[in-house]
Chain A
Amino acid sequence: MIVHFEPASEEGIASVVRSAAAERVTLAIVGGGTRSGLGNPVRADRTLSTRRLAGIVAYHPAEMTMSALAGTPLAEVEAALAANGQMLSFEPMDHRPIFGTTGEPTIGGVFAANVSGPRRYVAGAARDNLLGVRFVNGRGELIKAGGRVMKNVTGLDLVKLMAGSYGTLGILTEVTFKVLPVPPAAATVVVSGLNDAEAAAVMAEAMAQPVEVSGAAHLPESVRGRFIDGALPEGAATVLRLEGLAASVEMRAEKLVAALSRFGSRSQLDAGQAKALWAEIRNVKPYADGTARPLWRVSVAPSAGHQLVAALRLQTGVDAFYDWQGGLVWLRMEAEAEAELVRRYVGALGGGHATLVRADGEARARAPAFEPQAPAVAQLSERVRATLDPARIFNPGRLAAVA
């Protein structure tokens, strides 16, 4: 039977890790368990949950920072922020819909997996908003890195290293992050009827305007009807979000509509529809269909996204939609995961990062979840890892992939 630990303190976690390291026992690190499908399957002797290490430690709205224990439910963080008119500007995605998981996402899990949403293009990823961490390394030592100020260049930035390390370098116990005011107003401009290539051009043009577009997604006709109960206008929808003071948003929306006058038909969503739409884009609504059909999250240069999909279509059955100006492609395969094919095209189109987010056990066993790295980078990463978790006790198997 798997032994499960749920320490309620940093020292409790450190002590479990020290025993595990001494006995060479491996640990699977879990928070709310809602993202356990991300990455390669972990095979560990025991599990360690951060769930009981929960609570907001410090929140200073006027400083735009919050510190919270890793197991704090994301919902609790977001509620506290909302009460003060603030938010996590990187809009972390909720993975429950696509995985069909039921737990409570934790703030530690958000940063451990570097989870970001549509605003990532302008507000940075989770990693850009993480200011400081406390974590237990593989020797069972409690380590502090970064701080709770916006600017800090004191020593090596271990904070970035911990973000997106999927619990393979240490167990986050506390995170301090930047928060931002919720924009008082928002508008979403919809350009209808564009094909993928035209949409990429329109999004690029919109992002080049001095109107501060904070979301740029393209929803081809195949998925359009699955968003906001089919309320988007006829034809593929290219959607552009503006946020800010009410007067600014109104003026900017007019300016944007004018700048895009030579493309498709243009309309605007009301605030309620817009809010729902961006949440559905963030949570990949069209592919949250209760199936295990292979789902890829591909990050490439925005100009390459639609080319990738066009190239794949000639070879296999694929459905897709785009965020981040076209640079984030959510790809669902109709049958096989086609890992070799996807990664070959990503490489040919200038490189990027294809992650197999969801697949059945057989496909996952065959294809590494993360983009394989160049050997020199993989070796370097392994040397870095050895300094943090020398006995390799954390989340064995989760990340590994070498070209």
Chain B
Amino acid sequence: MPETIGFLKPRQAVLDRRPEIIADLADLLPEGCLISDERGLKPFETDAFLAYRRLPLAVVLPETTEQVSAVLKYCSRYGIPVVPRGAGTSLSGGAIPQEDAIVIGLSKMSRILDVDLFNRTATVQAGVTNLNISDAVSADGFFYAPDPSSQLACTIGGNIGMNSGGAHCLKYGVTTNNLLGVKMVLFDGTVIELGGKALDSSGYDLLGLVCGSEGQLGIVTEATVRLIAKPEGARPVLFGFASSVAAGSCVADIIGSGIIPVAIEFMDKPAIEICEAFAHAGYPLDVEALLIVEVEGSEAEMDTMLESIIAIARRHGVMTIKESQSALEAALIWKGRKSAFGATGRVADYICMDGTVPLSQLSHVLRRTGEIVASYGLRVANVFHAGDGNMHPLILYNINDPEDAARAEAAGNDILKLCVDAGGCLTGEHGVGIEKRDLMRHQYNKADLDQQMAVRAAFDPQWLLNPSKVFPLEGRPAA
């Protein structure tokens, strides 16, 4: 893909001092915590947004908060950019480094420090994976709610950076609603603690500001998160509809009826075909759209809720209803949905968009998305979290054809602008990263954006923490 997204010009003064910097970092860290050879740096040159890559100056893998602090203090003194990294699963390029930057990887800080079932909290180091938290408390009947699709690999530190969500956030909220406290290191090396096991803190909600700040305000090294009692059971039901409009109005009616399912997922015909061919989940191929609606509770409760939901679906002319009769069938229904991205990769190269829209605009945005992509001579498959309007159009193209790639990127930009114009926003869970940085001006006017950038600069006046990300490169107050 041709590079259309700019990076900041590397600082020559930093590049020139590379050997010295590496020697200094080696002094600050124990053996085995510094990577500086090209082969070792290679895995860190990009994240899951594969279109862009840059080899960093060096990678450090600290084992303690004190080491993170020492490295940041050093980098701030010498004006060296720093890029924080969890597992590198960012889909928006949030962890892609640059040539003059030190990557601080949190992978070695992967201990669960405290599980407090009385208060239903877990305190973990930032490098612990999302799924590991749930695994650690599962036997006691608890789980950690936000469930990004990458939860097997992604870290809680990265989740905090991106304010990650997932399919089940309709009921339980996203990271920011489940985060109680952090220990973090500011760019000058100062270690601060925000929040804790109590629900409220005094003063401004800096914890809320840090969550979703994409590694620009500091580096989180520890987090205290909320645990929730696991429901007795969960059961999905699959509905096939003759049109996206019918599926969309069914979603609105379910919510309007007073039932909040734990998840409502939507797939259009191309997505259904792609997923069914891969997962053999038993998805109907004669429908235009399908919904997966999941409810939770005891068997009797789930029966009651599904009965109401099915009655609503019937009112919207549902063509197919598949109720899962067993855990196996439930898993199969989800397998199709969860393999959507991987299965699409078998059919074509694709870029995954992440806009959100108000539910009333869903049909309009779906129709316009189809028209936009067709006007570029490409195809699109839509899967998304319908309950909270978080759309994921997958634009299919050929990565080896530069013109095709440029068209896909242009179509993607048009779709995100469409989401904003429909009253939504550029990103619901993947983050801005480098990917949507230059579209920020479409969602925010100059005053809005200047205010955000000024707040950012209050944390990092030199603008050296993850500097190429989130905000347009021009017009930064401290750049």
Contacts and interface: CB of A to CB of B under 8 A. Distances in A.
Interface of A: 60-65, 85, 114, 120-121, 124-125, 127-128, 137, 141-145, 147-161, 163-165, 169, 180-184, 201, 204, 207-212, 244-245, 247-248, 251-252, 255, 299-303, 324, 327-328, 350-353, 355, 370-374, 376-378, 380-381, 383-388, 399, 401
Interface string B111-149: 000001111110000000000000000000110000000
Contacts of A184: 258
Contacts of B427: 152-154
A381 B173 contact: no
B22 interface: no
Interface in B421-444: 423-432, 436, 440, 443-444
Given A387-B455, A401-B202, A153 B429 contact: yes
Given A151-B390, A157-B212, A65 B232 contact: no
14 contacts: A63-B255, A63-B358, A151-B356, A158-B451, A161-B206, A204-B117, A248-B304, A300-B197, A301-B119, A352-B200, A380-B186, A381-B206, A384-B455, A387-B458
B203 A210 contact: no
Contact of B209 (A63, A160, A182, A245): A160
Nearest to A85: B258
A127 B201 CA distance: 12
Interface of B: 116-121, 141-142, 162-163, 165, 169-170, 173-174, 176-177, 186, 190, 192-194, 196-209, 211-213, 229-232, 252-253, 255-260, 297-298, 300-301, 304-305, 356-360, 385, 387-390, 423-432, 436, 440, 443-445, 447-449, 451-452, 454-459, 470-471
Given A149-B388, A380-B458, 14 more contacts: A62-B255, A124-B173, A156-B452, A161-B205, A163-B208, A164-B205, A207-B120, A211-B229, A251-B300, A251-B301, A252-B298, A351-B196, A352-B200, A383-B459
Given A121-B199, A380-B186, A158 B455 contact: yes
A128 B177 contact: yes
Contacts of A245: 259, 301, 304-305
Contact of B200 (A61, A125, A302): A125
A251 to B, nearest CB: 6
A161 to B, nearest CB: 5
A192 B286 CA distance: 59
A334 B253 CA distance: 53
A147 B118 CA distance: 36
A370 B200 CA distance: 11
* Residue in B260, B297, B305 with the greatest tally of chain A CB atoms within 10 Å: B297
Contacts of A164: 204-205
Given A144-B448, A388-B451, A151 B118 contact: no
A120 B190 CA distance: 32
Given A299-B199, A328-B199, A127 B205 contact: yes
Contacts of B201: 353, 371
A173 to B, nearest CB: 14
Contact of A151 (B169, B186, B200): B169
A209 B140 CA distance: 10
Nearest to A206: B229
Nearest to B308: A245
A376 B190 contact: yes
A260 B275 CA distance: 46
Contacts of B431: 153
B447 A142 contact: yes
A13 to B, nearest CB: 15
A354 B206 CA distance: 18
Contacts of A150: 169-170, 356, 387-390
A343 B255 CA distance: 44
B455 A388 contact: yes
B209 A156 contact: yes
Given A151-B390, A181-B260, A247 B301 contact: yes
Contacts of A324: 199
A387 B451 contact: yes
A148 B356 CA distance: 10
A277 to B, nearest CB: 21
Contacts of A380: 186, 192, 206, 458-459
Given A245-B305, A384-B458, A154 B426 contact: yes
A124 B169 CA distance: 13
Contacts of B356: 147, 149-152
A85 B256 CA distance: 9
B198 A300 contact: yes
Contacts of B436: 154
A374 B192 CA distance: 8
B141 to A, nearest CB: 7
Contact of B193 (A165, A299, A370, A374): A374
Nearest to B443: A154
A143 B304 contact: no
Nearest to B298: A251
A19 B198 CA distance: 41
A31 B162 CA distance: 34
Contacts of B443: 154-155
Contacts of A154: 425-427, 432, 436, 440, 443-444
B206 A65 contact: no
A208 B229 contact: yes
Contact of B359 (A63, A141, A355, A372): A63
Nearest to B451: A143
Given A151-B389, A153-B431, A303-B118, A62 B458 contact: no
B253 A62 contact: yes
Contact of B229 (A209, A299, A370): A209
A377 B389 contact: no
Nearest to A209: B229
The 8 tightest CB contacts between A and B, nearest first, are: A160-B208, A301-B197, A150-B388, A181-B258, A151-B428, A352-B198, A387-B454, A62-B252
Given A153-B427, A251-B298, A163 B205 contact: yes
A218 to B, nearest CB: 15
Contacts of B390: 149-151
A352 B196 contact: yes
Nearest to A155: B452
A376 B304 contact: no
Contacts of B444: 144, 154-155
Contacts of A142: 447
Contacts of B260: 180-181
Given A351-B198, A376-B190, A60 B424 contact: no
